[in-house]
Amino acid sequence: MDRELALEFARVTEMAAIACGRWMGKGDKIAADQAAVDAMRTMFDTVSISGTVVIGEGEMDEAPMLYIGEKVGAGGPEVDIAVDPLEGTNLVAKGLPGAIAVLAIAPKGGLLHAPDMYMDKIAVGPKAAGKIHIDAPVKENLKAVASALERSVEDLTVVILDRPRHEGIIKQVRDAGARIKLISDGDVSPAVNAAIEGTGVHMMLGIGGAPEGVLAAAAVKCLGGDMQGRLWPDGSDAEKATQIQRAKSMGLADINKVLTINDLVSSDDVIFASTAITQGDLLNGVRYFGGGVRTHSLVMRKASGTVRFIDAIHKYDQKPLLIKRS
């Protein structure tokens, strides 16, 4: 993929964030998500790719746009696309920090077609790459990361979704002496933070969405970090059986397989782009002003190792989505 495409993908997440940000704090997560989806889908038609959505808003009968299998783009190289137009619907609805518009792009076949189910995950930065394993005790992983970072376990901060299912690993982290940052929603941004030095986050741990796991892996791979995952069926026996069958139909025959970062994202020609909707640890949220809006985005390309932070001002005449680039 041409490097110029990276900036075009930033435009896609920017427009999704701008449209969605108008719903911050209004208590309507469905409207917020729809605004992001509409804007992202519209912007894809301006990008010179022949894209197929492999991770999106659901199946064709569940989502009118950005559904799995949908073709997008204005024509160009064939690519697979993973999208989450609004990661953190509850965060936007409640005006809480951490919501982003995010996507990952790779050549055809370069992204795992993850089923819509849970995934157990662990993510770390470049210095700890190759030092962790999802099956190792939490204490041992923490020791390995601490050693790689030349600090004590007590100096580490681990991000975990605040869910009852994580009571066990939360206790293990605390017993080991590390600090914990509990979050209410959205585990893509924490994985990115764990892979970027200086964010104060050193590991992301726990069970979240499998599609989000692929998005997170794309970012972590661009940054040279490490991530592993394992699909985690949930619910009744019948629901678990359905999820397992769904995974097998998508080519994941062994539900218990440890998925390495190269299983999750097999291509080195991967691009990751995200724009903050609400304020985050790494990116500033959308800020509106008379006649325009300011966005803050992160765009990364594995092939070149480039990591760009884009602080952009967009001007418009009357309607927020009639954007004039500045």
Known binding residues for Mn(2+) are 33, 57, 84, 87, 212
Binding-site residues for substrate sit at 87-89, 118, 163-165, 185-187, 209
Q: b/e per residue, 7-21, with b = 16+ CB within 10 A?
A: ebbbbbbbbbbbbbb
Which residues have C-beta within 8 Å of that of residue 2, sequence separation ≥ 6? Answer: 77
Residue 103 CA to residue 81 CA, distance in Å, equals 7
Which residues have C-beta within 8 Å of that of residue 49, sequence separation ≥ 6? Answer: 1, 5, 72, 73, 74, 75, 76, 77, 78, 79, 105
Binding-site residues sit at 33, 57, 84, 87-89, 118, 163-165, 185-187, 209, 212
CA 226 distance to own-chain centroid: 15
Q: Copy the structure tokens of residue 196.
A: 């970027």
CA 13 distance to own-chain centroid: 12
